[in-house]
Structure 1
Amino acid sequence: MDENEQCYLADFGTAKETYLNSTVVGTFPLAPEIQPNSLYDGTAADIYSFGIFLYEMLPKPHYDLPSIASTAKNMSQPLVNQTKRLPSTFIEENVSITCIEHLSNELLYEVFDYLDGCEIYRVFCNLNSRFQYLITCLSFLLKIKIRPRTQSELMQSYENIILPNRHRLLSLSFEETKVINDFFENCILDSSFNRLQSIVLKDVEAHNSLFVFSCLKLLPHLVSLTMSMTIPWFYNLNHIYRTILSFPALKYNKLSLPPISQCNNPNIFIPVTINEKLNTIEYLVIDHHCAFFELYSLIYHTPQLRYLICRRILKRSDRLANEKPIMLPNLTHISIDICVKSPDHLGLFMTKLFAPVQALRIKYHRNTDHLDDNGWEQLIRTNLPYLRRFHYENHQCFSRYEENDFDYTKINQFTSSFWVKRQWYGKLVLNMHNICDCCSIFSHDSAWFIVSKHPEIVSYSNKNNIIMSNSQPMNNFSTQFVPPIVFRSNDNPTKRENQFFLDKFKSAFVDIHFTHLNINCKNICINMLLKIIQLLPYLNSLKVSALPIIQLDLLFSNHGKILSSTLINNKITEVSLENVNHIEQVYFILYLCHRMQYFQLDVPKDIDLNVLVRFILKESAINTRSLNSLYLSIPNANEYMIDQLQKLITSEKLLLNFNIKCICNNIFVKCC
């Protein structure tokens, strides 16, 4: 910027990387002090460079690759007009300290949306007339988190901010018991807070809850109430839920009790009254112990219910059988955790619902009574005809010396045409350290590999980050799906613990033809991985979350025999490798999975992309001649990387016919 406040831009203002794992490149005018060979002069140069960044990001257009190349070429040429030059020093008086004023009102309101309302008032109230107008505008609604250090500070916030702006208050949040008690004892919430829609209360004391509810009930537009409570062991929740159901506009309610203080007998029963006012709750989260009958009693009074979440069904109850069915025409999502070993009360509960349920999640804790294909199939066909997403979990935990009588082969029942047609698959999760396992059934959107409708389209799995392209159309999908198996290890198991684990689950490996393996080998030795793969001869896909450091000379000298025997029956064709630290880990996978067709890996920042791709393609030509698809997950993947890889593969004839493309942060190389 010159003395006439005219700005001249000669460069981006800093060095830039052309692609990862390569030399940092840039042009000479990195900062103004460089041209006269001056030393770095501190804040002045930083602000100057920061201004260049802003100018480049905001008013300048984004260029494609040819434009960038052309720009770089032009910038390397000398300036024709020598009258416009970068100043050698920073002109401090030209810097405006009120540049925040240049932001639009819309952008400022977006920033305010992330800030606490009280803090906004304290910082911006008396700054200038513009901000005074912005924060007092009727259309600007306040979200306030009440976190005072003293009672006097609480009263100041209430009298100076909350009460004068009660007609603009959108939400209130309380995070401490003492703050809640002080507020409701000294402050008033009534119908004048006519735009207050959401309240969060953390750790409400049981003896004070009804008084708090009596205040909240006066709010005419309260639509969301989230509350956690501390209660005695035998506290009765009946009165609390009766009050909640009487709120005039409530649509979302969540009540949580800490597990260590769960009331053993909540005794929730809401009788039907004549001319009962319809409840407006659409989202109900019951985060405490209850029985199926108590759950039934609650939802009987919520005819507009859409989402139901019940975290802990802990008690048995036989009263449900005599109740009549409930019509809930809007209920589409149900999630229930069951912590009691009991007869099929879940099935009975579902028969009492006439609702178009589309998504169902059931989680059993230490319960073996309900992993039955025929029972679930009959329940779904009869009572859940609209079900599209189904997630079932059955968790078992036992010590190393405890007898495990769980029948893992039951998971094979879920491979019939009924489940395959709906793309609901089984999965077994084994924890090698705590000896905890989980059998689950999950919908196709949680699957490891998603079959795409067209061979050239890549499908994404959001939950497991596996990317795959396959030529088999989804609408013709009829292949029987065999369940995957997942291994987890939290600590470094000893050789004896590894052998114990293999002995305990060997029969399950033999009886169930697992096709997919997900394993984290960070704390598992290579020998253990090879033994596990040997016990799973039907594997066709492998996901390795991490591998230990591998020394190739020691690998073949110490594990050569078991490695050779593993190669003989290895049928793995799809592999995903994450958290790569050394290229030796890639070599191990290429050598181990010699029938591999699909290979996905996360490219680390400290490995040159060209070197890595050259290594994979050359080694695959020797060890895995069937490799035809390579998927590279790279932060900031771009077209320049594609261009460099294409030149590399073509010039060195690593592949003859191939397609290469970049989608998001993934580069795909596929043989034609």
Structure 2
Amino acid sequence: MDLNCSKRPFNFNYSTDVETKRLRKTSDEKNSVITRFEHLSNELLYEIFDYLDPYEIYEAFSKLNIRLHNLVIFSSLPLNINLSSKSISTLEHRCRHVIIPNKHRILSLHLNSYVIIRDFFTHCNIDASFNRLESVVLNGLSEYRVMMILFYLNALPRLFSLTIEMQDDSFFSISDIYSIVFRLPHLKFTKISFSEDEESEISIPISINERFSTIEHLVIDHDCNINELTSILSHTPHLRHLISKNLIETEETIKKDVLLKLADLKYVCFDQCNIEFDALEVFIKRICSQLQIWRLKTECKTSYLDGNRWKRLIRRHMPQLREFHFDHRVDNDEMEILPDRESIDQFTSTFWTERQWYFEFKSEAFQYVYSIHPYREKWHDYCEYDRNDIYVNERLLQQRSNNLDIFRRRATTSACRSSISRSQFTIGFYPADFWNLSFIDDMKCSFLQAQFNHLTIQCHETPVDLLIEIIHLFPQLKSLELPSLPLVHVSSLPAETTDMLLLVSITNEITRVKLNKMVEVEQIHFLMNLCPRMQYLEIECVTYVDLENLLGSILMNNSTRVPYLCCLSICAFDAHEKIIEQLNAIIEFERLFDPERAFRGYTIQRIDNRIFLRWKL
């Protein structure tokens, strides 16, 4: 049972405040030292009680003395009650001695099982005397109690949030439940859940002079079809935020005569949309002229891959749409379906980029995923960051100025605008028998000259000949991310692979490279040969010895193999000041031998567990 009082906001100066109070008390009471718990101030006791179970507080302290009894029993602090199966054995006692005497203090009530709900309402009735109750959660509600309980809730003067999860084996009318919920006079948030039942049907007729629901945030956590969803929404004209678990097909004709007035609806999320695009389009045209955020997941139905159709729908019927989160999955169990090249081209057109929406195609064993999402900053959009510790040559600087913050915001905005036109190809996990050169042969007809700018490979230790072929397939690449590489020496590669490596190194435009795990510096040598235009290199999981070898390798190759490389990002789990000082010492030692060329005008920046080394070319 969690009868927690509402916590006070966490105050970073709390310890200082307590110390100040202690010193003040010491000043006022020269030699007085508190040695008993019951002598603590009321304020300090309330702070302690915030971290204890209030029912246990009642049992432990209410009978110790009059002061603690009054403190526990007559407090006005709000209570949040959470009754789980662990509370069953003491439920009657809790209701009689804690809940009922303090019902005017209860802010939220969570009943988390069928047995808890049944026994709670045996010992306690909810009525208007619960005058502060704002949130009710009922998990495991049965058809036997549902109507009675909803009738009780109608008396609550401040019920703003209601969550109902019906018991799996219950038989009930979901339409009746919605009808009663919509009549609750102050409700702002509602979530209704129940398991799938093919026989359930939702139809909620509108009565003459009906008072519409006040609900603004609705979560439909069950299957429903378009007609059922329309029936529900016809009662919620104030709706702002809609989440629907699963839209399913219906054999009925889609009703077009129901008028939906949802002028405030800004956010819609369909966790799974299993209807035809035609049906979804009819529905969207009726509700979404003011929509700003739309999340949608679909699968299998190829009509959803028509990027031009999406473009027309959004332009004509969703002019205010700011964020579009779209994921479409295509099952490929037999590994015989090829990606849709036409769809990829349509989803990378200027319509999407001018809205700063980002396309990603993910290919993995047994499925493809086509995604559109708003721009979100990625590792390859590096720019100047707020700096924790900064070395400029030999001097440690502390940079915490507002000017740097302003510069960062401008640089981030610039990076967003410059990279938003890019699209990403992600290769997920494949079985070893599929992860070979035949993968390239199967993909060439779909991806040859495709306009992907970022490549992420999630398969570990991709064979170098396969990696070279993949990069050759995407000449527009600007960034490359790998989890790891096999231990490879360029000099030991077969002649055919070496020739292909030379060709790809000349033609590719990759400027940013990320390797999540470096085992030895030869892996970096291979990446330098593969991506000679590299400007930014990011490496995860390296030790101090690796850093020393890495810096030496960069210095040796900076003017020959990678003449544009000017930024190194390193993830070091012990990236504290001592490591940075050692790194600075390594660089200064190298500069003794070549002061004009070795990391000229360098800076070292620490951001959390990451170290950034930048230098002038």
Please indicate, yes or no, whether the TM-score normalized by the shorter chain is above 0.5.
yes
1:667 paired with 2:594, answer: no
Question: 3-state DSSP class of the match of 2:445?
Answer: helix
Corresponding position of 1:444: 375
Q: 1:614 aligns with which of 517, 541, 551?
A: 551
Given that 1:234 and 1:265 are in contact with CA atoms closer than 8 Å, whether structure 2 keeps it comes out as no
1:520 paired with 2:455, answer: no
- Structure 1 residue 646: deviation in Å? 3.9
Given that 2:520 and 2:546 are in contact with CA atoms closer than 8 Å, whether structure 1 keeps it comes out as no
1:364 paired with 2:298, answer: yes
Corresponding position of 1:413: 346
Given that 1:324 and 1:352 are in contact with CA atoms closer than 8 Å, whether structure 2 keeps it comes out as no
Question: 3-state DSSP class of the match of 1:514?
Answer: coil
Question: 3-state DSSP class of the match of 2:603?
Answer: strand
Gaps of 5+ in 2: 1-13, 18-32, 388-407, 592-597
Which whole-Å CA distance do the structure 2 matches of 1:600 and 1:482 have between them? 20
Given that 1:364 and 1:394 are in contact with CA atoms closer than 8 Å, whether structure 2 keeps it comes out as yes
- Structure 1 residue 596: deviation in Å? 1.4
Amino acid at match of 2:192: L
Amino acid at match of 2:213: N
- Structure 1 residue 405: deviation in Å? 6.2
Give the fraction of aligned pairs with identical amino acids, expressed as a percent.
Answer: 31
Corresponding position of 2:106: 169
1:578 paired with 2:516, answer: yes
Gaps of 5+ in 1: 1-56, 61-94, 460-467
Cα shift readout 1:405-451 (whole Å, capped 9, x = no counterpart): 6524302112322211111121111223xx11110111113666558
- Structure 1 residue 538: deviation in Å? 2.9
User: Cα–Cα, structure 1 residues 428 and 609, in superposed 2: closer, same or farther, change >3 Å?
Assistant: same
- Structure 1 residue 396: deviation in Å? 1.0
Which whole-Å CA distance do the structure 1 matches of 2:342 and 2:530 have between them? 28
Q: 1:535 aligns with which of 473, 492, 496?
A: 473
Corresponding position of 2:126: 189
- Structure 1 residue 625: deviation in Å? 2.5
Alignment of 1:255-654 (within 5 A): 255-258=192-195, 262-316=196-250, 319-353=253-287, 356-400=290-334, 403-404=336-337, 407-432=340-365, 435-445=366-376, 449-450=380-381, 456=384, 474=414, 477=417, 481-489=421-429, 493-496=431-434, 498=436, 501-510=439-448, 512-522=450-460, 528-544=466-482, 546-547=483-484, 550-552=486-488, 557=492, 561-562=496-497, 565-569=500-504, 570-578=508-516, 586-604=524-542, 606-607=543-544, 611=548, 614-615=551-552, 617-618=554-555, 620-621=557-558, 623-635=561-573, 637=575, 641-653=579-591, 654=598
Corresponding position of 2:147: 210
- Mean alpha-carbon deviation: is it higher for 564-573 or for 383-392? 564-573
- Structure 1 residue 336: deviation in Å? 1.1
Question: 3-state DSSP class of the match of 1:322?
Answer: coil
Which whole-Å CA distance do the structure 2 matches of 1:183 and 1:476 have between them? 54
Given that 1:590 and 1:619 are in contact with CA atoms closer than 8 Å, whether structure 2 keeps it comes out as no
Q: 2:162 aligns with which of 225, 233, 258?
A: 225
Cα shift readout 1:287-321 (whole Å, capped 9, x = no counterpart): 11111221122122112211111120012365545
Given that 2:381 and 2:416 are in contact with CA atoms closer than 8 Å, whether structure 1 keeps it comes out as no
Amino acid at match of 1:438: V
- Mean alpha-carbon deviation: is it higher for 173-182 or for 188-197? 173-182
Given that 1:587 and 1:619 are in contact with CA atoms closer than 8 Å, whether structure 2 keeps it comes out as no
Q: 2:55 aligns with which of 111, 115, 118?
A: 118
1:201 paired with 2:138, answer: yes
- Structure 1 residue 514: deviation in Å? 2.0
Which whole-Å CA distance do the structure 1 matches of 2:126 and 2:498 have between them? 72
- Structure 1 residue 238: deviation in Å? 0.8
Amino acid at match of 2:237: P
Which whole-Å CA distance do the structure 2 matches of 1:560 and 1:192 have between them? 85
Cα shift readout 1:10-44 (whole Å, capped 9, x = no counterpart): xxxxxxxxxxxxxxxxxxxxxxxxxxxxxxxxxxx
Which whole-Å CA distance do the structure 1 matches of 2:52 and 2:243 have between them? 30
User: Cα–Cα, structure 1 residues 577 and 405, in superposed 2: closer, same or farther, change >3 Å?
Assistant: closer
Which whole-Å CA distance do the structure 2 matches of 1:180 and 1:600 have between them? 55
1:153 paired with 2:84, answer: no
User: Cα–Cα, structure 1 residues 657 and 216, in superposed 2: closer, same or farther, change >3 Å?
Assistant: same
Cα shift readout 1:81-133 (whole Å, capped 9, x = no counterpart): xxxxxxxxxxxxxx998689879937954x75565543443455456777656
- Structure 1 residue 348: deviation in Å? 1.2
- Mean alpha-carbon deviation: is it higher for 493-502 or for 334-343? 493-502
User: Cα–Cα, structure 1 residues 220 and 398, in superposed 2: closer, same or farther, change >3 Å?
Assistant: same
- Mean alpha-carbon deviation: is it higher for 116-125 or for 470-479? 470-479
Cα shift readout 1:615-668 (whole Å, capped 9, x = no counterpart): 463365254222112223445755565555444434422301233333444433
Which whole-Å CA distance do the structure 1 matches of 2:553 and 2:62 have between them? 61
Corresponding position of 2:599: 655
Amino acid at match of 1:216: L
- Structure 1 residue 334: deviation in Å? 1.0
Cα shift readout 1:33-63 (whole Å, capped 9, x = no counterpart): xxxxxxxxxxxxxxxxxxxxxxxx9669xxx
Question: 3-state DSSP class of the match of 1:188?
Answer: coil
